[in-house]
Amino acid sequence: MRRTALLVSAALLTSLLPLAVARAADDPPPVPVDRFEGEVPFANPPAGGIFPWGGDTDDPPTLRLSPRDDAPEGDQVLSGSYDISGYGGFTHDFAFAEPAHDWSAHQGVRFWWDGQDNGRKVAFELKDGGANGEASELWTTSFTDDFTGWKQIEIPFTDFAYRTDYQPVGGIDHVLGLTGIWGYAVTLPVGAPGRFAMDGVELYGRADQSLRASVLTDAAVYPVREGGTAHVKVTVATTGSAPIDEPVTVAYETTGGTASDTDHPPLKGEFTFPAGTASGTTRTIQVPTRRDKAAAETAETIPLRLTVTGAKAPAETPQVVIDAHGLPYLNDKLPVKKRVADLLSRMSLAEKTGQMTQAERGAVGTGADITTADLGSLLSGGGSTPTPNTPGAWARMIDSFQLRARATRFQIPLIYGVDAVHGHNNLVGATVMPHNIGIGATRDPRLAERTAAVTAAEVRATGIPWDFAPCLCVTRDERWGRSYESFGEDPALVESMETVIQGLQGARDGRDLKDDDKVLATAKHFVGDGGTAYGSSTTGTYTIDQGVTTVTRKQLEAIHLAPYKSAVDRGVGTVMPSYSSLDLVGDGLGPVKMHARADMINGVLKNRLGFGGFVISDWNGIDQIPGDYASDVRTSVNAGVDMVMAPYAYKDFHTALIEEVRAGRVSERRIDDAVSRILTQKFRLGLFEKPYADTSGASRIGSAGHRAVAREAVAESQVLLKNSGGLLPLKKSQKVYVAGSDADDIGNQSGGWTVTWQGSSGDITPGTTILEAMRENSSALTYSKDASAPTGGYDVGVVVVGETPYAEGVGDVGNGHDLQLSAADRAAVDKVCAAMKCAVLIVSGRPQLIGDQLGDIDALVASWLPGTEGEGVADVLYGRRAFTGRLPVTWPRSQAQLPINVGDPTYDPQFPYGWGLTTLTKVPEGGAATLRALETAARTAERAGAGDRGRALVEKARLIVQRKADRRMTAAVAAPFADADHLLLTGRYAEAVRKLTEAYRAA
């Protein structure tokens, strides 16, 4: 039966339904929504029907219609099973071709649920308003499965709250209108297998105006200077925006709070919105304050209690706040150290521990807990965005959270953080840079700094002052799902790219942090995350991420710790410990989680290296420490973690830390140290003076100028691995055949951490694909993704292949991923390269195994994950810019070689670290004699401290060697060639040329 027919015949069907609850005489009969007798199909949008969904392939529940003798309604029920690690559930979307349903005449929705008595919460959600079921507002509530057998769950519409953690398209009117319902969804519990059964979804009861009409205020907090007047706007709104049909009276009174009569005159009054008042009509209540004789005071609150008759009252009592004033910490002329000391001396233990607590934006809803728990920080996890996902919505959201902090005694501003790891990647329309692996391939520290400066400007323009970047990991195994977050396998290369810290923060002394285009940077993940051994991870199905790094102390210092020393020297503001464990050979401790390693965080980072910023934990990072939660809290804080990212457990953390301090297991001195470090960065960022978003730079987000920087970075990141017969650069006049899965996919070329945590294929954000950029440069181009189009008559083929997006351990090899091209990509390469001269571009976060096809490929390019500016790839393909990129990691011949890195005693890769051919119009000539002369000149430059000259001499020698070694790569060539690139980065120019000479002789 079609949905429209089902609803039209509701009265007839009602006579057949058992009534479990007696209804009032004037209530309308229940209206069936779903009987699960087969009248509604299993179907995905845009078709109407029931469908499962989930965070990954294992999360969607199984669904079926099952005959049940005990079915509460009819013969069948909707049943299923689930085992959800991320999120999952099912939805009934009403068909797009039909009008949305009008539920506004009813009191609520109810259904039968087969209880398992597991004590777990089940969320029930409505899709309200908007264009269709996938472009509507989400309103949610929940019930607890604490019963056995069938029970009718009755949910009045007044129980539903607007979802703040996720909305598909953004706020439409933030009113549960009920006149345009597109469906409902059930979110099932996570963390343990379960089963469910559901039956008889129906509407019940009669709505009255108190359910249809709401009184709202324009804010929850109204800060004013002492003596000023707050203006509280009170609005009446109705479902469907219809005028109210009965009067709505609002009585108001100032009562309670921390302010006294000397701070404000008592205020009491009443007004009425008469019947017929249009939805959206606003009245303003003015709340005056007084100047008292106190020269210095903390903030004082004046709650404005609203009593509403005839409509639903606001969810919370608005508060007028008289701003703190006259206190030393508010004086921006004083040194930061004095301001910190003054503020710290005034704070209670609860206020201090609140500063050490970071929550996820989705967990705090509208933000009331920011005030009650004195929260110091919020973050957006990957893909946690406001709706709509626009610069203005980000700024408004963060300002609304900052407003909550104004209601605390000392009005300490929040510090808000995001993972902007290759541009402001959470924001649709931002400039998405190449991932770090591509930036490392540029070997251009100045350009790296410019890309970070663009990122900082775009992040700060949305109101965010803190970036969880850069990752200073030294990737040592390409099976790691985070390989692309690293600048490369050589600590010297990682150190050279740390100019990004200045791009983000500005001057090393922090004086630029208050500027509207700078953000606080985070060096992560301390220390050794890139060295975890394959198979050592114990996190879910991960194979290497979050595993164990086993090294000698000398190896730790030389490989993994060196970049952090440079970061501290550069003034990095925060450091994030790694999820991984460190097993120092000979220390007798075995593997210890980095969040628990006091010897490394306190001992090395803070004491030995002199790090003066604060340490922020990773997402639930302390939870991986062995022991109960109290033990996790005290161990991590005593180890030196200053702020704990407890996204959804922030209340538990805050309570546990207070208890640990009171029990003497965490000292107040340790708390004061942590809070001092946090407050110092807040003062340096200028947040006390300017807590709200400065959006003056918002017009430059995704601008042509910013994209030009990204385009340059893309071009410089392209590494030409092979170029037989000088196939590249292409000519505009050539007839080109383009194929491959990644040629025309902005999502694939951007990779993980793009709009969402894992990223996704498809047209997910504005940008230019590689194919689109090639079309602009070619006079004759044909595209066939799978190479199914005829291949005859072309001058050259370009096959763009590679990976699909992933992030973190989800991308570990062995966790559903490998280093092989997909069967479709391999087939496209085989077909095109058999038919014509061909160039293959590999779009990936790490090397792909291409050895068995290399002989059939004329030109091979490592394109990495270039981001949104595909024009940069076309620039080098068509010769507008020369190929100059160099491998930031070793390109292996086979997976059996892994891990393989520069400096290994056995080193025989497909292409060595530092390899990168060029298409410069003039490649240096010469042989052994020229190399000897270059070594002498390099030694002179080295002694004179002439770095630019020394690097130019080594580069000339490298190009000479590559021209000879290009045809046959052996271990005897590869090892000294890779060593030379490391020596170049460490300033040993003469030794680098000597190693290149060794490679030349072996070639």
Q: Cis bond leading into 41, ω under 30°?
A: no
CA distance 731 to 737: 13
In terms of phi and psi (left: phi > 0; alpha: psi -120 to 50; beta: otherwise), the region of 302 is: beta
The tokens for 599 are 């010897």
> Ramachandran region of residue 288, left (φ > 0), alpha (ψ -120 to 50) or beta?
beta
CA dist., res. 549 & res. 542, Å (int): 15
Give the H/E segment covering residue 16: none
Cβ atoms of 436 and 471 within 8 Å: the answer is yes
- What residues are labeled active site? 618, 808
d(CA 246, CA 233): 21
Residues 926, 932, 933, 937: what is their CA dihedral angle, to the nearest 10 degrees? 130
Q: Are 742 and 770 in contact (CB under 8 A)?
A: yes
CB 80 within 8 A of CB 64: yes
* Residues 542/811, Cβ–Cβ less than 8 Å: no
Contacts of 865 (CB under 8 A, 6+ apart): 422, 434, 435, 437, 438, 484, 749, 750, 751, 843, 844, 845
Q: What are phi and psi of 170, to 5 degrees?
A: 110, 175
Q: Single out the residue of 479, 561, 477 nearest to residue 523, CA to CA.
A: 561
Closest CA to 135 of 127, 124, 145: 127
Cis link prior to 236 (omega < 30° from 0)? no
24: left (phi over 0), alpha (psi -120 to 50) or beta: beta
Nearest to 307 by CA among 220, 223, 248: 248
φ/ψ region of 406 (left if φ > 0, alpha if ψ in -120 to 50, else beta) reads alpha
The pair phi, psi for residue 50, each rounded to 5°, is: -100, 135
DSSP 6: H
Go through 615-644 and write b for each residue having 16 or more CB atoms within 10 A of its CB, e for each that does not: bbbbbbbbbbbeeebbbbbbbbbbbbbbbb
Q: Cβ–Cβ contacts within 10 Å for residue 314, how many?
A: 17
Asked whether 919 and 839 are in contact (CB, 8 A), the reply is no
Phi, psi torsion values for 914, nearest 5 degrees:
90, -10
The CA-atom distances, in angstroms, between 49 and each of 77, 195, 366, 938 are 15, 21, 32, 72
